[in-house]
Amino acid sequence: MDRRTVLRTAVVGAGAAAFSGSLWTGAFAAPAQPGASPYGALGSPDANGIALPGGFSSRVVARSRQRVGATSYVWHDAPDGGACFPAGSGWVYVSNSEISRTGGASAIRFDADGDVVSAYRILAGTNRNCAGGATPWGTWLSCEEVSRGYVYETYPLGGTAAVRHDAMGRFNHEAAAVDPDRRVVYLTEDESNGCFYRFRPDTWGDLSAGTLEVLVAGTATSGPVSWSRVPDPDGAPTATRNQVSGAKRFNGGEGCHYADGTCWFTTKGDNRVWAYDAVAQRIDLAYDDSLVTGTAPLTGVDNITGTPGGDLYVAEDGGNMEICLITPDGRVAPFARISGQSASEICGPAFSPDGTRLYFSSQRGTSGLSSGGITYEVRGPFRR
């Protein structure tokens, strides 16, 4: 039997677990399955080549190697992970640059009407800044996707130099998600045999010192887990993922999103969305394309974000260039599809603070090159 058949048989035989996180109320069985979108079917591609449900519209806010709006700031190549932050009566969208040796991150500031006010650099001279995560105190954690990469804490409003946090471990970082309830930061690792980590700072709000831990579990896709301290976060001579016996392996850790007791993270190598229940300390599968009945709507899972109401938005690296929606009742459906950009990937989905606008990037745009990145905004009646 192929992987899809083996996994489906295993889940049916054992009985599917229901999520215990409060975002996912009701007794739906994991993993999520294709279903109707709460927004309806996608329409025809608009002038930007984006197919959206009725009532939604898109615009381009930045292009790599071109000035942002009426500003003098030139947008970076290969835009990747991103997040939004309140800024006075407006907000800021932050975006990483997944470029070797120069990397870094930039920001676009919008006024209350959504018009571009300014754009500027918040991190420079780093290496392949892929994803990251926002903190409750208003900073952006920018992660280097290289062997023994670092996490940098940056300041979206500008005016403060970024800080490198060695204590958060040196490995092939992908994304970060902050859990303010347990006062930890979850971290994914983009390796085919990577791990899932959490960092416990000595002082909450100060990431300069603390304890790096790795998730320990068996090979099953659901069940209880524990955490063990990584002896040497520096990752040399032994890589962090190889220092703790029993550390659970994940195939290509990607996006990471925390909300209401659950940390959701994706693994691109096997097209899975995982749910770590931080209250019960267990993991479950929220989505696996091998366990889908019929055609899987979501493949190439990558960056992930969510809404206060519990909807998850998962961007594709590959697939058919979609952002797919996973609802709390376990339905998976396309929300947006970019046409004519099959050599790219969708990165950095993030909602404006009021939840009415979704920002994301096509990393290589229509050209398929890092210099062709495009950053978009979608407006519409998002449910909260």
Instruction: Dump pLDDT digits (tens) for 216-268.
Output: 999 999 999 999 999 999 999 999 999 999 999 999 999 999 999 999 999 99
* pLDDT at 76 (0 to 100): 98
Q: What is the amino acid identity at position 289?
A: D
* pLDDT at 318 (0 to 100): 85
pLDDT at 4 over 90: no
Q: Please, which pLDDT band fits residue 30 given cuts at 50, 70 and 90?
A: low
Name the nearest CA neighbour of 131 among 257, 250, 242.
257
For 242, the 3-state DSSP assignment is helix
Name the nearest CA neighbour of 115 among 36, 159, 59, 75.
59
Start-to-end Cα distance in the chain: 42
For 167, the 3-state DSSP assignment is helix
- Whole-model pTM? 0.93
Name the nearest CA neighbour of 91 among 105, 109, 75.
109
